[in-house]
């Protein structure tokens, strides 16, 4: 599929939330062009480094190039400093890139999340370069449904396993009502142990235990 067609894909649901032992990031897989489901296996969750993850909503072409930028910068930071890039540095760098394209913006909304020496963090970044940390945040066309679940069920002190269950529950609610969201989930846990992504079988097992159909 050519770049112009890829760039027209939009519509998504992503979320990130902080837990007592790390963070959870989650997205669904559908990409749309208007009323057409253009792709059913779109990658919207990226491992940037062992301590940082990224989710993307908006134009796929813009999102992919920004994921590559951040991955390269995180690797350079590791090489130069001998330690992992802090979350605040990653969010600030992405904010500056987005702000520098104010007149020809990247049409995206990003979540940068992970762990560092200062704790566990989720940053929401808008197309103008705004960067806001929060305990939990969601982006994309399905975000109103996700917020409905998170506002009701999120609590301080959750484990990442509990957070993963909550993320799955929230995405399931969005996929039930938002036509631009669907076709499965990607769920990642980032902790001091590193970056790990749940398998499809693990997601299905968790959905079964919560009786989500």
pLDDT in tens, 23-37: 999 999 998 888 888
In sequence order, the 6+-apart residues with CB closer than 8 A to the CB of 122 are: 16, 17, 18, 23, 111, 112, 113, 133, 134, 135, 136, 137
User: Within a domain: residue 153?
Assistant: yes
Q: pTM of this prediction?
A: 0.92
Domain count, the chain: 1
In the chain the beta strands, taken as DSSP E runs, fall at 13-19, 22-28, 31-33, 36-39, 45-49, 52-58, 108-116, 119-125, 131-133, 136-140, 185-191, 194-197
- State residue 199's pLDDT score: 97
Cα(14)–Cα(150) distance, integer angstroms: 13
**Structural domain boundaries enclosing 134:** 3-207
- Asked whether residue 213 is domain-assigned, the answer is no
Residue 166 has a pLDDT of 98
User: Which of 5, 6, 12, 14 does the annotation list as catalytic?
Assistant: 12
Indicate whether 135 belongs to any domain: yes
Give the pLDDT mean for 178-183: 94
Does the structure show a pLDDT above 50 at 147? yes
212, part of any domain: no
Confidence class for position 48, pLDDT limits 50, 70, 90: very high
pLDDT at 103: 82
Examine the pLDDT at 8 and tell me if it is beyond 70.
Answer: no
DSSP bridge partners of 57: 109
12 is catalytic: yes
- Residue 90: what pLDDT? 97
| pLDDT value at residue 10 | 53
Q: Output the domain CATH number for residue 19.
A: 3.60.20.10
Q: Is 178 in a helix, a strand, or coil?
A: coil
SS3 (DSSP) at 42: coil
Instruction: Residue 66: name the closest of 112, 12, 130 by CA.
Output: 112
> Rounded to an integer, what distance in angstroms lies between the CA atom of residue 114 and that of residue 24?
8
| C-alpha 103: how far from chain center | 25
Q: What mean pLDDT, rounded, does the chain reach?
A: 92
Q: How confident is the model at residue 213 (pLDDT cuts 50, 70, 90)?
A: confident
Tell me the pLDDT tens digit for each residue of 149-175: 999 999 999 999 999 999 999 999 999
């Amino acid at each position: 599929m050519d770049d112009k067609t890829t760039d027209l894909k939009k519509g998504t649901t992503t979320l990130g939330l902080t837990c007592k032992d790390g963070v959870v990031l989650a997205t669904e897989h559908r990409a749309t062009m208007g009323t057409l489901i253009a792709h059913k296996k779109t990658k919207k969750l990226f491992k940037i480094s062992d301590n940082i993850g990224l989710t993307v909503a908006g134009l796929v072409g813009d999102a992919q190039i920004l994921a590559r930028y951040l991955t390269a910068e995180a690797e350079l930071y590791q090489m130069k400093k001998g330690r992992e890039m802090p979350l605040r540095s990653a969010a600030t760098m992405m904010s500056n890139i987005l702000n520098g394209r104010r007149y020809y913006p990247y049409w995206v909304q990003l979540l940068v999340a992970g762990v560092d020496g200062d704790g566990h963090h989720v940053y929401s970044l808008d197309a103008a370069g705004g960067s806001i940390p929060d305990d939990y945040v969601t982006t994309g066309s399905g975000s109103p449904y996700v917020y409905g679940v998170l506002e009701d069920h999120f609590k301080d002190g959750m484990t990442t396993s509990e957070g993963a269950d909550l993320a799955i529950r929230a995405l399931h609610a969005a996929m039930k009502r938002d036509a631009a969201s669907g076709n499965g989930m990607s769920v990642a846990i980032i902790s001091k142990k590193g970056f790990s992504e749940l398998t499809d079988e693990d997601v299905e097992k968790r959905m079964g235990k919560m009786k989500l159909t």
